[in-house]
Chains A and B, each alone.
Chain A
Amino acid sequence: MNLNFKHEWIETNIGLLAVLTMLAISVGGLVEIAPLFFIDKTIEKVDGVRPYTPLEQRGRDIYQREGCYLCHSQMIRPFRDEKLRYGHYSLAAESQYDHPFQWGSKRTGPDLARVGGKYSNEWHVQHLTAPRSMVPESVMPNYPWLRTTPLDTSDVAERMKALRKVGVPYSLTQAEYDANVKKFGETVAKQLHIPNAQQSLIEQANFGNYDGDRSGISEMDALVAYLQVLGTMVDFSKYKDDAFVDDR
């Protein structure tokens, strides 16, 4: 180092100060984030996790539009009390297709990472419409319009294309479709195929009838379909209870 170095040089040169400040700050970020791209246990190797179907993905859009994440986290931490209440702790693998992830850091309401299958569709519909009719002490707002607003399904393919650009394996070409068949099986791969997106959305909504109203596809159909799949993709009964200890 030049022994004549004086910090006046930095203090009197605003451009240099800005560059060096950014360098100093980015060290913290780089040291914590960059290794995650090289460590091979960052995302647990686990079966069953797949991208959301078009209907679930639209439900996820509504989840974000309504700001559900402001009160609900989707991240079960590895603590005993959380395991007892919510189930197995969340895996990184389970949110690998989430853009952006919904981990959250604030719980006014309960964590929703494994809410799928815990309640009936009917409960969700009634609870979203009028939460206090199901849980008297709830402070959740009413979302009555979800049941009456038809779901806009016209742009679902465009939405999936956008997610494909950030790495979600929705298929556009035959080759990508074939790769999905290999990875997720034919039934799932069909639903992840963008050219069929609108049709498979309508099929899933009509088959599942999530809002209990067969007259059309509402935003409630999509949101409940999304809620019912949360945390259900991995079958933890196939793994020992310490199967993921090594990954951290």
Chain B
Amino acid sequence: MSEQKLQSQTVQTTGHAWDGDLQEYNNPLPAWWVYTFYVTVIFAIVYWVIYPSWPFGKGWVGGVSNITYVNSAGETKTHSWNTRALLMEDLNKAATAQKPYFDKVAAMSYEQVAKDPDMSGFILSSGKALFADNCAPCHQAGGQGVVGFFPNLTDDDWLYGGSFDKIHETITGGRRGYMPSFGEVLSGGQIDQLANYVASLSGIGHDAAKAAAGNTLFHSETAACYYCHGVDAKGRKEIGAPNLTDNIWLWAGVPSAENPEGKVAAIRSVITSGLNKGVMPAWAGRLSPEQIKVLTVYVHELGGGQ
């Protein structure tokens, strides 16, 4: 009975019947839905007024909300709201918060920054973030490097020098390693002698007779190794030629070789094919001078700073 009452009295139908008795209710929309709809319309109109919205001619309606910021030229500007102006405001806020620290970094010498306990916390935290973003892909998270590719920054062996100034120079301008290949200039026997000599410098098992011949060759005009690596084979930092006497290996896979023969072979392969790698990108355009200074101190403090 109640169903009949519903259909016939309280609810209207669309008036059409399908298949004889199928009818469709024609209820009004729920009140909550209708009011929510009106609210969204009002919200949209308010939004148009406040924020950039409608295209207009060759531009658009900017909206009444403004953002004020200071740009790199020191000019204070007010611009209608947009994400790029918002970014400027965000950067201004961050710069203001960090200013006391960066001003201190800029004013102090490297030695002062490194020794100031107040600053070391700042250097550690901001330097760590900078290092992770920019340096860790090559030099690894802890600065330990990868043998055969990228130098270890935690030891006291430096290709180009481990002083604050030299580290700064390296980060700013980048580096490019180079060693000519001797495969076509020297015979296999000669390269073997040189490899044995280089191995002997680091106390790796070698053939003494070959090493002695290699010593002569190293200091001769035929191979002329001493031009770059120095008469004492301790390298020349001005050109990034490594010290060959400290048993620290960057290019030759000596540490991973299991026996002395393998270690000598690893050295041989570098002498034979030479190196045209060891490229470090320049960071001058990418990082600010203050950031480079922070990184310089951070890298210096990784362990091997001189």
Give A residues with C-beta under 8 Å from B: 8, 35, 38-41, 77-80, 83-85, 87, 89, 117-123, 126-127, 133-136, 212, 237, 240-242, 244-248
**Cβ A80 vs Cβ B286 within 8 A:** no
Indicate if the CB atoms of A85 and B133 lie closer than 8 Å: yes
Closest to A40 in B: B58
The answer, among A78, A85, A127, A136, for a CB contact under 8 Å with B83, is A78
Chain B residues with Cβ under 8 A from A212's Cβ? 276-277
User: Which of B91, B137, B149, B276 sits near A80, CB closer than 8 Å?
Assistant: B91
Kindly state the separation between the CA atoms of A119 and B134 in the bound complex, as whole angstroms.
9
* A83-B91, A122-B149, A240-B73 given; A248·B133 CB < 8 A: no
Q: How many residues of B contact A (CB 8 A)?
A: 42
Distance in angstroms between the alpha carbons of A212 and B87 in the assembled complex: 40
Chain A, residue nearest B291 (CB): A84
**Is the beta-carbon distance between A78 and B86 smaller than 8 angstroms?**
yes
- Whether B55 is near chain A, meaning CB under 8 Å from some CB there, is yes
**A120 pairs with B88, CB closer than 8 A:** no
Structural contact, B281 and A35, CB atoms closer than 8 A: no
The answer, among B57, B72, B82, B277, for a CB contact under 8 Å with A122, is B277
Chain B residues, CB < 8 A from A126:
149
Residues on B with beta carbons closer than 8 Å to the beta carbon of A40: 58-59
A36 to chain B, nearest CB (A): 8
Q: How far is the CA of A134 from the CA of B278 in the complex (A)?
A: 14
The reply to whether A245 and B84 form a contact with Cβ atoms under 8 Å apart is: yes
Cβ of B114 to closest chain A Cβ, rounded Å: 24
- Among the listed B60, B86, B286, which residue makes an inter-chain contact with A35, where contact means beta carbons less than 8 Å apart? B60
In chain B, positions 42-93 with a C-beta closer than 8 Å to chain A are 52, 55, 57-60, 69, 71-73, 77, 79, 82-88, 90-91
Least CB distance, B5 to chain A, in whole angstroms: 27
Choose among A80, A241, A242, A248 the residue that contacts B94 (Cβ–Cβ < 8 A): A80
Given contact pairs A39-B55, A39-B58, A121 touches B279 in the complex (Cβ within 8 A): yes
A121 / chain B contacts, CB cutoff of 8 Å: 279
A57 to B276, CA, bound (A): 26
Task: Tell me the complex Cα distance, A9–B210, Å.
Answer: 101
Q: What residues on A are CB-neighbors of B90 within 8 Å?
A: 79-80
CA distance A78 to B82 in the complex (A): 10
Answer whether A135 and B87 are a contact pair too, CB < 8 Å, given A41-B59, A118-B286.
no
Q: How far is the CA of A38 from the CA of B58 in the complex (A)?
A: 6
Question: B11: CB under 8 A from chain A?
Answer: no
Q: How long is the Cα–Cα vector from A127 to B94 in the complex, in angstroms?
A: 34
- Report B160 CB to chain A, min CB distance, Å: 15
One of B59, B88, B141, B150 near A242 (C-beta < 8 A): B88
The reply on B266 being an interface residue by CB < 8 A is no
Query: How far is the CB of A168 from the nearest CB of chain B, in Å?
Result: 25
Contact A123 B137 (CB under 8 A): yes
Question: Closest residue to A114 on the B side, CB-wise?
Answer: B286
Contacts of A83 in B (CB 8 A): 87, 91
- The interface centre, meaning the residue of B84, B134, B286 with most chain A CB atoms within 10 A of its CB, is B84
* A120 neighbours in B (Cβ, 8 Å): 138, 277, 279-281
> Does B285 sit at the interface, judged by CB under 8 A?
yes
Give the shortest distance, in Å, between B45 (CB) and chain A (any CB).
Answer: 16
Asked if residues A241 and B88 are in contact (CB atoms below 8 Å), the reply is yes
A110 to chain B, nearest CB (A): 9
Q: List the A side residues contacting B280 at CB < 8 Å.
A: 120
Contact between B138 and A244, CB atoms less than 8 A apart: no
**A195 CB, min distance to chain B CBs, angstroms:** 33
Minimum C-beta distance from B175 to chain A (A) = 10
Query: What are 24 A-B interface contacts by the 8 Å CB criterion?
Result: A35-B55, A35-B60, A39-B59, A77-B83, A78-B84, A80-B87, A80-B91, A117-B282, A117-B286, A119-B137, A119-B281, A122-B149, A123-B137, A136-B141, A212-B276, A237-B285, A241-B88, A242-B72, A242-B77, A242-B85, A245-B82, A245-B85, A245-B88, A248-B83
Within the assembled complex, what's the spacing in Å between the Cα atoms of A127 and B90?
Answer: 34
- Whole-angstrom CA separation of A126 from B279 in the bound complex: 13
In angstroms, Cα B79 to Cα A80, docked, is 18
Complex CA gap A232/B286 in Å reads 11
Chain A residues near B136 (CB-CB < 8 A): 135
How far is A122 from B148 in the complex, measured between Cα atoms in Å? Answer: 11
* Inter-subunit contact B279/A122 (CB<8 Å): yes
Given contacts A120-B138, A120-B279, A242-B71, A89 and B58 within 8 Å (CB-CB): no
Contact status A245-B91, CB under 8 Å: no
- A89 close to B138 (CB less than 8 A): no
Cβ-neighbour of A245 out of B52, B79, B282, B285 (below 8 A): B79
Contacting residues, chain B, for A127 (C-beta < 8 A): 137
Chain B residues near A41 (CB, 8 Å)?
Answer: 59
CB nearest neighbor in A for B70:
A242
Q: How far is the CA of A100 from the CA of B292 in the complex (A)?
A: 37
Q: List B contacts of A134 (CB < 8 A).
A: 137-138, 146, 149
Binary A-proximity of B274-298 (CB < 8 A = 1, otherwise 0): 0011111110011000000000000
